[in-house]
Amino acid sequence: MAIKYNADSKTFILETRDSSYLMEISRYGNLLHLYYGDRIPDENLDYLIKIQDRGFSPNPNEAGNDRTFSLDYLAQEFSTDGKGDYRIPSIEVINGDGSRIFSGKVDGYKIYKGKYCTTGMPSLRAISEDSVQTLEIRLKDNESKAAVILYYSVFEEKNIITRAARFINEGRESIRLHKLMSVTMDFRLSDYDLVTFDGRHTMEREFTRTPVRSGVQSVQSCRGASSHQHNPFAILCERNTNEDYGRCYGYALIYSGNFIIEAEKDQYKQVRLNAGINPKSFSFVVEPGEEFQAPEVVLAYSGKGFTTLSHLYHNIFRENLCRSPYIKEPRPILINSWEAAYFDFNEEKLLQIAKDALEMGMELFVLDDGWFGKRDDDNSGLGDWKVNLNKLPNGISGLSDRIHEMGLQFGIWIEPEMVSEDSDLYRAHPDWCLKAPGRPMTRGRNQLVLDLSRKDVCDYLIDSINAILQDAKIEYVKWDMNRSISDVWSAQLPAHRQGETLHRYILGLYYIMDHVILTHPEVIFCGCSGGGGRFDAAMLYYQPQIWCSDNTDAKARLKIQYGTSFAYPVNSLEAHVSICPNHQTRRTVPIETRGIVAMDGILGYELDAFKLTKEEKDACREQIHFYKKHYHIIADGDYYRLSSPYENPYYTAWQHVSKDRKKSLVSLVLTDKESNDAQMYLRLKGLDKDAMYTVEGLEGRYSGALLMHAGLPVPGELNEYEGIQFCLEMI
């Protein structure tokens, strides 16, 4: 059994194949955390709880004269608030009497087969009921009659535990919820680093590693989406942890809106980590008999470094998260019209780009922004999802038919969540966007945000998008969101409930996707938010791939894709070859290198094929052939980061290894070239040490042990920004 309860020691034991997670009910009913780490025997860990009289650490009433028991220093699974624990709390409420206290005591539990459900939000699914076991622990505040249900599902063979929380008001007065964390985890030791993935538009998910210091540190989004600036994924690790060694804990929040991941080193050098919805600008009124669901967090533990942790996330996200059937299928090689044409196109220009793309071996033509409404730039037309007949006189269906007659599939770009003031939709329904009455509006990209907390807005978008998909043969949709949310105020919510708007927006977005994306499994949906501004696990629930970044510069992508790989599988990352000088950085990189970097994901192209030279077209054709030949190693295999672009100034390298370890693809890009430089060697990973391999381009046979310990020589003739790939096969 993956979950057990020992009644004698009042201990809950959760076990995966390689890890153990234990917690205990204290003598006063508090749920205390005992252990999470490498799998250990089922033993009584009560000896780990050391109680003592701590100055200025108050004692709960039920402890009587016992001054040694205080929640101010004990490790907990879900903290109280206002009862003597002064660390960052799991929950913040305002009760009907105005008090801000929640004191949850264990009030029962359930253990059952299968996976719990997070109402209205994405979550991992169980492939079979027998593969997952769930524990529910109920915490009750006896004074307010409020309860919190803590959920734990154990994917035993996947080495994954998920957590979530649900708040229930069982009292007679409304309660205002200001904070409800999906996970709280306390550690008795403090020698940890916090790894986060930060950045900005066109430079997302950069690897950031900082020691956990005394006090509170956090990463968070308050932009209405998970954001370019910070990703809802973090790692807590020991100071000596690297790719192959050390203990590390992963926290992946399945949520696309405002989030926070916060860590606190307390006065006794203990560490608490919280993850959940950002309490900034958040409040939710829970009436008697109502409840509030917090999103799910996917926990993973590795005692063998970052690589093993990444493999756990890659496997669970590929197999138990995404609902699209395409997550397990090769994607067509696409060409996107954006950098080729922007808004300046007509049907004949698009057909010419498609014709040249077809000759290069591409399989899918995607029409980006500008095909609808009055849309000749980004200042008008959003919200009017009717084809612009001045550009496309035969409509989307006519263009689609001609593209299909050429032998290509067809896709389009949409941005459903936004509206232009210069649009028929805004003129008809100005109250449908987020804007505070009597205040001047804030614009981003000269567009406003539709209020998805309103069902009428959601239903309009569902009908509009489904009508487009029913009107023409469309195999691919790029779903974009091109601004951060501001001026948050909904015309449908009373003043005391305005703090619910942003969370209701996200629930509305999921509602739309439930009724569009999940009802069109034949369509590949690609997520986008100005590139990688909403690259999160919740979006992968709906979309098998997400546009990694608007920055298509191959050198910049080395860092972006490096950071992304820590949690997200390669076959979810859409990456394109674009023209040079690059439109974002003005850097020129060989087209062969652009292909090597782009095929570290879902390969595509973002250029005007008509303007390419014969040599460039030949290079693209060769890339497509090579990528398709090795697709299953890249998309389905294990991923290894062989070097860090932050630590190695000379080259960045990575490796894909098939699950059976019989085939491997190694990629390297030289990032700095010195005169008369030293010979460098690249040590490989993931091979069978006892097997023999051939290396394409090298004579002889090499053992896996030799390739992993001695490595391959990096060719000295490589120039700066040039790349190379090695194909290995077991013999």
- Do residues 242 and 204 make contact, with C-beta atoms less than 8 angstroms apart? no
Please measure the distance between the N-terminal and C-terminal CA atoms of the chain and give it in whole angstroms: 40
Rounded to the nearest 5°, which phi and psi values hold at 46? -60, -25
Handedness of CA 568, 570, 576, 581 (dihedral sign): positive
Active site residues: 480, 550
**Which two three-digit tokens encode residue 588?**
């020129």
Closest by CA position to 334, among listed 617, 575, 619: 575
**Which two three-digit tokens encode residue 430?**
């100005």
Contacts of 717 (CB under 8 A, 6+ apart): none
- CB-CB neighbours of 346 under 10 Å: 12
The CA distance from 615 to 623, in Å, is: 12
Residue 294 burial by Cβ neighbours in a 10 Å radius (0-12, 13-18, 19+): buried
Contacts of 340 (CB under 8 A, 6+ apart): 353, 606, 607, 608, 609, 610, 611
The CA distance from 63 to 76, in Å, is: 17
| Alpha-carbon separation of residue 365 from 355, 411, 477, 564, 607 (angstroms) | 10, 6, 11, 26, 12
**Which two three-digit tokens encode residue 255?**
């949520």
The CA distance from 409 to 176, in Å, is: 51
Q: Is 373 left (phi over 0), alpha (psi -120 to 50) or beta?
A: left
Rounded to the nearest 5°, which phi and psi values hold at 116? -70, 170
- Do residues 171 and 291 make contact, with C-beta atoms less than 8 angstroms apart? no
- Do residues 89 and 12 make contact, with C-beta atoms less than 8 angstroms apart? no
Closest by CA position to 105, among listed 144, 50, 67: 144
The CA distance from 560 to 547, in Å, is: 12
Contacts of 279 (CB under 8 A, 6+ apart): 92, 178, 179, 260
User: Which residue's entry shows tokens 């209701």?
Assistant: 504
Q: b or e along 483-507 (b: 16 or more beta carbons within 10 Å of the residue's beta carbon)?
A: bbbbebebeebeeebebbbbbbbbb
Give the angle subtended at the CA of 197 by the CAs of 223 and 525, to the nearest 5°.
65
- Do residues 237 and 481 make contact, with C-beta atoms less than 8 angstroms apart? no
The CA distance from 499 to 177, in Å, is: 10
- Do residues 459 and 512 make contact, with C-beta atoms less than 8 angstroms apart? no
The CA distance from 724 to 642, in Å, is: 14
